[in-house]
Chains A and B, each alone.
Chain A
């Protein structure tokens, strides 16, 4: 048993990141993510790590990528407007295969929107925000404890697959305070990126052995000299205009994530055994969904929950199977209907899909979800 502490979601993100091995944070103040920067500034130098407040959001992610290139686990955090600004360099980290964790504590938008109000309006930006086809991993915690655990997982996935991982928090979870038990250090699994063990000048940095999908690049300064670029490149790391090489690289990037779907996917379910109606929810919305389910059960309604914690890649296989067994799936989210589109795409006509959304800065109540459940 570890210590039980009272913590805020944003604080849990920082402590989780430190436990995962984050040793550099680069950020820019923005509500409602600012506490992540503040606590990083306090805690990192205590752990021998470094904090830097950069001049803008773009510089923050660029700085974090630079640190990662030099072999240091790094993170940046922001909210909607800053997440928009980070998109170009997010794509850079995807293509150049640089591990990195980007946190978006979502707030109501578009534009400056309502900075202190909750939202889950960036879910599709998380998927498609940076230009060009690309795979992405995005994770949504629903509690303070989950924020701690899933931040560690975000680092581990980013290291394992050498790709940026998005921690899609929301204002509800970021500013939520609750008690949580800190895990013992020895119970925490830490994954480090694949890296060559010793410098080998003959080795191509993006060379893959048969079946290998993740490159083993050396940190800068280790003695292995090579080139990193945001241009489409071949195994040597140098730009190419060959359509064959471009296809090879793009396919590998996609397969790096899709072939590991089973290992990356993460979702929790509740009361699915006898459920007629399932609430599909994620992040902060899960709190109201939980209460709604309990209220419905008290009324004798057979209601369950399907809650992805990894939203991208989307747990489509499991949701599709579920949709064949239930009468209705009610999607609850703090936006105009974003993951709803994904649920509809997967479910097709297998069952009815209902929607409880909120896009005015207010919070979805259990009663609103319950009303939707009772509509049938």
Chain B
């Protein structure tokens, strides 16, 4: 650990975001060339900068997998937990100290396979944490096995004949489970994604932002998706803004991804409800004494 005051940007190319919100002594990151995760991590940092969050009061929680390494690169209180359990750890942190801003960074396998149960229940509970999913449609860290978001028919090292499973829509799953904020961004749509993450953090309740990443090393190579740039261009050409998608038919939306805030509503945040309960019991006791 290094005092941020001691670290100066090494050159002019080093972004102020790196200097202010990351741990340059732990960079460069381990992500492959062309990986979308670095872009998404930067989006999170930019959203935090735009919102002016306190670094000391912001907690980054991650699970296991490529995405989870983001926690080590970001200069907050960071905790790299066990596979799939980031939301459950984050729930404990938030409940113990609701004044903290708790952000989970997770991967698609991490959050929707091994951690799927925690995702749906945190959504139902409406606990005020923000979940940013780096969704690369594959298990990258272990070398390219199919994940719950690998499209049907796509290839992975454990799907040598094509994936037989249907894939999850993580934003839709969170919505179905009762999330009060569910959205989608992408590695390509940087500005939109920063805005969406910002809105997700500002949202008082559980929020999930499913961000389409790209994995040229495993998903791309196995599926002949071309270069990282080709994969980002796919996002450019196939993601439809939510406002526009509303006017389109299901047939027209087939094979497309909807970008933006897909669902937002308000109901009581869990830790607030609990604090209110404690206050009520205290007042009742005072009145009886």
Contacts and interface: CB of A to CB of B under 8 A. Distances in A.
Interface of A: 23-24, 26, 45-46, 48, 50, 52, 54-56, 58-60, 62-72, 74, 88-89, 92, 199, 201-205, 220-231, 236-239
A70 B96 contact: yes
Interface string B61-94: 1000000000110011111111001001111111
B85 A67 contact: no
B3 A202 contact: yes
Given A55-B121, A56-B117, A89-B85, A230 B80 contact: yes
Contacts of A63: 88-89, 91-92, 95
Contacts of B26: 238
* Chain B interface, >50% SS class: helix
A52 B79 contact: no
B97 A201 contact: no
Given A226-B77, A227-B80, A58 B85 contact: yes
Contacts of A48: 278, 282
Given A45-B281, A59-B117, A66 B1 contact: no
A204 B88 contact: no
Contacts of B81: 62, 65, 92, 230
Contacts of B96: 23-24, 50, 66-68, 70-72, 74
B121 to A, nearest CB: 4
B97 A59 contact: no
A162 to B, nearest CB: 15
Given A69-B92, A88-B82, A236 B1 contact: yes
| Central interface residue in A48, A55, A66, A92, by most chain B CB within 10 Å | A66
Contacts of B59: 220-221
Contacts of B85: 58-59, 62, 89
A229 B80 contact: yes
Given A24-B96, A227-B71, A227-B72, A66 B56 contact: no
Interface residues of B, number: 43
Given A45-B281, A201-B1, A220-B97, A24 B92 contact: yes
Contacts of B79: 66, 69, 220, 227-229
Nearest to A52: B95
Contacts of A50: 95-96, 274, 278
Interface of B: 1, 3-5, 26, 55-57, 59, 61, 71-72, 75-82, 85, 88-97, 99-100, 117-118, 120-121, 274, 277-278, 281-282, 285
Contacts of B56: 199, 221-225
B118 A55 contact: yes
Given A50-B96, A220-B59, A225 B77 contact: yes
B55 A62 contact: no
Contacts of A223: 56
B281 A46 contact: yes
A228 B78 contact: yes
A10 B157 CA distance: 49
A277 B4 CA distance: 66
Contacts of B4: 201
B34 to A, nearest CB: 23
Nearest to A218: B77
Given A62-B81, A201-B3, A225-B75, A69 B118 contact: no
Contact of B92 (A45, A70, A224, A229): A70
A49 to B, nearest CB: 8
A221 B82 contact: no
B82 A92 contact: yes
Contacts of A72: 96-97
Return the 10 tightest CB-CB contacts between A and B, nearest first.
Answer: A66-B92, A62-B88, A70-B96, A63-B92, A67-B96, A59-B88, A55-B121, A67-B92, A66-B89, A229-B80
A62 B89 contact: yes
A33 to B, nearest CB: 19
B158 to A, nearest CB: 22
B142 to A, nearest CB: 15
A67 B274 contact: no
Contacts of B99: 221
A205 B3 CA distance: 13
A327 to B, nearest CB: 49
Counting chain A CB atoms within 10 Å of each CB, the highest count among B55, B75, B118 belongs to B118
A45 B57 CA distance: 25
A238 B121 contact: no
Contacts of B80: 227-231
Nearest to B90: A66
* Chain B CB within 10 A, most for which of A67, A70, A202, A205: A70
Given A45-B274, A221-B100, A59 B71 contact: no
A223 B4 CA distance: 13
B93 A58 contact: no
A54 B91 contact: yes
A26 B3 CA distance: 35
Q: A56, A89, A221, A223: which has the most chain B beta carbons within 10 Å?
A: A221
Given A66-B90, A227-B72, A237 B1 contact: yes
Contact of A65 (B1, B77, B92): B92
Contacts of A231: 80
24 contacts: A45-B277, A45-B278, A50-B95, A50-B274, A54-B88, A59-B88, A59-B117, A59-B118, A62-B81, A62-B85, A62-B88, A63-B88, A66-B94, A67-B95, A72-B97, A92-B81, A201-B4, A205-B1, A220-B77, A220-B93, A227-B1, A227-B80, A238-B72, A239-B72
Given A50-B274, A201-B1, A230-B81, 12 more contacts: A45-B277, A54-B88, A54-B91, A59-B117, A62-B85, A62-B88, A62-B89, A69-B93, A221-B97, A225-B1, A227-B80, A229-B72
Nearest to A199: B56
A11 to B, nearest CB: 19
A141 to B, nearest CB: 26
